């Protein structure tokens, strides 16, 4: 009798087959270097971007202190306590009708709604200034025979390379006078001409909007000028042949073509300006709650963390919404062809004798806002009495003795010696450089890796997801992004990164490197992706056939080919990080970075030291940019100027 074969356990072979199939699929997936890169960066970005955002939103729904709990209970007759989850932080900020001490309007109107409206209005005015200034200059450079175009094009980008707060300091240095109570001393305008401008010109809405517009005008110039230079000249030539007037050509052809760049500029400038902190901090000394970014910083500084995170969330939603509108508009314009393979050289508008008048006017404006600030910082840093050049002295640069009497600095063993002998200034400047270098190395390297992986799987949803996550930090306002990580380091598990808890500047340096690396990754990732997409796959395939390792292919083949593009992925984060203040203000002390020290000296009357530090930072940023551009041949205005 034959043995009866026992049936296999139900599903046994199928389960084994299934797991074997999964294992083989995973093995094949992870055998590709770009798949490993995508998975690693997806995990890192989820931890570094998504998790902190969730933490910030959660903290806007949490009672952080007993003072917050008592305030909510008093207003809404609740019974919450420290650590409770509650939605009441939102109505406490947005719909609180109580009058606090010194307020003439309700708490919500004074602290949230009026600052928000002012911020929106300021951002709108800044957009108009940026687009008009940058757009008109781009047209003059690309479409007219105006002289001095190369010099103007090079110098005009300085206000964008310089930190925005440098322009704010220059504005104050130039217009302050002894008729404005908040202004220490007299400015250049009063010293030279005796003219005293009213307070609203020195501090408040008008100067803040002007400085933000001037700072972003080169940004508009770069975007609009690039399109004007590269657009198909045949379009305008055809209109000229049909005897259309120059005005009609500009109105019916040129403006519609540059419309996407103009809309992008408006939306991006608006999103950046509405959440700016540094410029309002310098130019709103008479009203420290004038804009929403200032009230947000104030709320977080005095322990109203819930309200601060609510404001940060509002700014975040506002900026992301604006930028999503920009992306939608850009996508809708993709089918408009403005650059073709057959393009003639459009004839330039002959300005005749007016070209010299226009050139002189443009030169005066450009030099005033790009070069004169540097001289003003020099003058302000050597004057014993602000506004009186007769009191000029070099002690604020070279003195080995204390230059000002500051009890707080003395109690913390911090120095007010001349800048070149000032341990506080030099150590903070050193920390700024260390952070900028580390952030540049991390961003540049990660940007190349992300660009490589995304370009290899450009049609994959997973690659697009990783690319979007890498770009997401760009959409988050700097102050809100700093608030995100302030929320994280207030957690017990990460308090060692909180300088206010550890009392060690190394903690602030560590968190600044983390925050900066994530925030400035979009610059490097987009640069790396664009560079990799320009490379033919055959180049790497040929190296693979010869048995060349992946690391060798990257360092010996791909990197040298696109060296300039990759270097910009290191340079942009370095410059941005070196001049940054808004991003780090919430997670550092008053003496962590050079920008912190400069702001402290400005606030406490040591304007000479503050201007000296400002000059050093600006010169360092500009020099680094020019040196790298000279060595690599890259320039953000290259191809626009004449």
Task: Inform me whether the pLDDT recorded for 232 exceeds 70.
Answer: no
Kind plus residue range of the DSSP H or E element containing 428: helix 423-456
> At which residue do the structure tokens 């404001």 appear?
311
Residues 532, 591: one domain? yes
| pLDDT of res. 337 | 45
Structurally, the chain folds into a number of domains equal to: 2
Q: Are 343 and 233 in contact (CB under 8 A)?
A: yes
Cα–Cα distance for residue pair 230/346, rounded to 1 Å: 11
Residues 513, 591: one domain? yes
Please provide the DSSP assignment of 4-67 as one string.
PPPPPPTTHHHHHHHHHHHHHHHHHHHTSHHHHHHHHHHHHHIIIIIHHHHHHHHHTTB--SHH
Pick the last residue of a domain from 389, 411, 441: 389
Whether 320 is in a domain gets the answer no
Host domain of residue 603 = 419-632
Whether 180 is in a domain gets the answer yes
Closest C-alpha among 159, 301, 284 to residue 222: 159
Whether 316 is in a domain gets the answer no
Instruction: Tell me the pLDDT band of 333, cut-offs 50, 70 and 90.
Output: low
Please provide the DSSP assignment of 220-257 as one string.
HHHHHHHHHHHS-HHHHHHHHHTT--HHHHIIIIIHHH
| pLDDT of res. 467 | 85
> At which residue do the structure tokens 């009186």 appear?
388
Residues 493, 613: one domain? yes
Least confident of 339-348, 434-443, 475-484, 570-579: 339-348
Token representation of residue 228: 């004007």
Instruction: Name the DSSP class of 144.
Output: B
Please provide the DSSP assignment of 593-609 as one string.
SHHHHHHHHHHTT-HHH
Closest C-alpha among 159, 638, 113, 114 to residue 366: 159
| pLDDT of res. 579 | 84
Q: Is 285 helix (H, G, I), strand (E, B) or coil?
A: coil
Closest C-alpha among 579, 586, 599, 478 to residue 169: 599
| pLDDT of res. 101 | 64
Q: Exposed/middle/buried for 459, CB within 10 Å: 0-12, 13-18, 19+?
A: exposed
Task: Inform me whether the pLDDT recorded for 202 exceeds 50.
Answer: yes
Instruction: Tell me the per-residue pLDDT of 67-123, one tens digit each, with 9 for 90 and over.
Output: 888 888 888 888 888 888 999 999 989 998 887 766 778 889 999 999 999 999 999
Residues 383, 433: one domain? no
Task: Inform me whether the pLDDT recorded for 299 exceeds 60.
Answer: yes
* Strand ranges inside 76-217, DSSP E: none
User: Which residues neighbour 37 within 8 Å (Cβ) at sequence distance 6 or greater?
Assistant: 449, 450, 452, 453
Whether 513 is in a domain gets the answer yes
Instruction: Tell me the per-residue pLDDT of 474-513, one tens digit each, with 9 for 90 and over.
Output: 878 888 888 889 888 988 888 889 898 887 899 999 999 9
Length of the chain: 642
Whether 452 is in a domain gets the answer yes
Residues 602, 504: one domain? yes
Residues 365, 510: one domain? no
| pLDDT of res. 635 | 58
| pLDDT of res. 295 | 92
Its pTM stands at 0.82
Kind plus residue range of the DSSP H or E element containing 426: helix 423-456
Residues 287, 355: one domain? yes
CATH of the domain at 216: 1.10.3720.10
Cα–Cα distance for residue pair 152/360, rounded to 1 Å: 11
Whether 41 is in a domain gets the answer no
Whether 311 is in a domain gets the answer no
Instruction: Tell me the per-residue pLDDT of 168-182, one tens digit each, with 9 for 90 and over.
Output: 989 998 998 888 877
Instruction: Tell me the pLDDT band of 561, cut-offs 50, 70 and 90.
Output: confident
Residues 376, 471: one domain? no
Residues 517, 368: one domain? no
Token representation of residue 67: 């003072």
Cα–Cα distance for residue pair 566/449, rounded to 1 Å: 11
Residues 291, 429: one domain? no
Residue range 180-185: mean pLDDT, rounded: 76
Instruction: Tell me the pLDDT band of 639, cut-offs 50, 70 and 90.
Output: very low
Residues 225, 274: one domain? yes
Residues 441, 378: one domain? no
Instruction: Name the DSSP class of 639.
Output: T
User: Which residues neighbour 378 within 8 Å (Cβ) at sequence distance 6 or greater?
Assistant: 611, 615
Q: CA distances (Å), 587 to each of 156, 307, 596, 614, in order?
A: 33, 17, 11, 21
């Amino acid at each position: 009798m034959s043995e009866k074969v026992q049936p296999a356990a139900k599903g046994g072979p199928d389960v084994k087959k299934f797991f074997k199939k999964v294992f083989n699929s995973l093995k094949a997936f992870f055998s590709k270097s770009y798949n490993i890169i995508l998975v690693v960066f997806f995990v890192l970005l989820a931890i570094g971007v998504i998790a902190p955002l969730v933490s910030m939103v959660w903290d806007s729904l949490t009672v952080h202190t007993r003072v917050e709990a008592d305030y909510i209970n008093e207003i809404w007759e609740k019974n919450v306590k420290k650590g409770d989850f509650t939605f009441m932080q939102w109505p406490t900020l947005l719909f609180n009708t109580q009058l606090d001490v010194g307020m003439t309007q309700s708490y919500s109107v004074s602290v949230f709604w009026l600052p928000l409206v002012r911020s929106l209005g300021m951002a709108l005015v800044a957009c108009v200034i940026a687009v008009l200034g940058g757009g008109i200059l781009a047209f003059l450079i690309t479409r007219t025979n105006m002289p001095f175009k190369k010099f103007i094009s090079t110098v005009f980008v300085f206000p964008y390379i310089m930190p925005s707060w440098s322009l704010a300091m220059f504005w104050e240095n130039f217009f302050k006078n002894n008729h404005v109570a908040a202004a220490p001393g007299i400015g250049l305008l009063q010293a030279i001409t005796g003219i005293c401008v009213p307070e609203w010109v020195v501090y408040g809405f008008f100067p803040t909007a002007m400085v933000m517009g001037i700072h972003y005008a080169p940004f508009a110039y770069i975007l609009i000028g690039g399109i004007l230079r590269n657009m198909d000249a045949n379009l305008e030539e055809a209109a000229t042949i049909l005897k259309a007037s120059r005005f009609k050509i500009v109105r019916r052809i040129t403006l519609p073509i540059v419309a996407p760049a103009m809309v992008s500029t408006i939306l991006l400038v608006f999103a950046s300006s509405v959440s700016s902190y540094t410029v309002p901090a310098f130019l709103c000394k008479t009203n420290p709650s004038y804009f929403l970014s200032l009230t947000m910083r104030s709320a977080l500084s005095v322990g109203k963390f819930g309200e601060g995170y609510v404001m940060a969330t509002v700014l975040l939603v506002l900026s992301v919404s604006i930028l999503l509108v920009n992306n939608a508009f850009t996508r809708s314009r993709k089918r408009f062809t403005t650059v073709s393979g057959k393009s003639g050289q459009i004839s330039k508008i002959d300005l005749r004798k007016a070209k010299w008048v226009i050139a002189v006017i443009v030169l005066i404006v450009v030099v005033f806002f790009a070069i004169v600030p540097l001289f003003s910082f020099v003058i302000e840093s050597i004057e014993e009495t602000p506004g009186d050049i007769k009191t000029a002295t070099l002690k604020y640069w070279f003195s080995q003795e204390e230059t000002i009497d500051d009890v707080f600095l003395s109690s913390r063993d911090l120095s007010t010696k001349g800048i070149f002998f000032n341990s506080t200034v030099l150590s903070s400047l050193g920390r700024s450089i260390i952070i900028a270098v580390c952030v540049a190395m991390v961003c540049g390297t990660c940007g190349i890796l992300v660009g490589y992986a995304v370009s290899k799987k450009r049609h994959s949803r997973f690659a697009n997801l990783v690319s979007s996550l890498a770009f997401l930090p760009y959409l988050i306002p700097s102050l809100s992004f700093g608030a995100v990580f302030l929320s994280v380091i207030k957690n017990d598990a990460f308090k060692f990164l909180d300088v206010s808890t550890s009392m060690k500047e190394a903690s602030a340096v560590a968190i600044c490197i983390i925050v900066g690396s994530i925030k400035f990754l979009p610059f490097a990732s987009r640069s790396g992706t664009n560079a990799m997409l320009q490379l033919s796959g055959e180049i790497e395939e040929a190296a693979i056939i010869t048995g060349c390792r992946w690391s060798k292919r990257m360092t010996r083949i791909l990197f040298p080919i696109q060296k300039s593009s990759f270097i910009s992925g290191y340079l942009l984060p370095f410059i941005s990080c070196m001049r940054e203040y808004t991003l780090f203000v919430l997670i550092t002390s008053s003496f962590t970075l050079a920008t912190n020290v400069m702001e402290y000296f400005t606030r406490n009357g040591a304007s000479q030291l503050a201007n000296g530090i400002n000059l050093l930072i600006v010169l360092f940023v500009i020099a680094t940019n020019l040196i790298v551009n000279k060595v690599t041949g890259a320039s953000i205005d290259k191809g626009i100027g004449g």
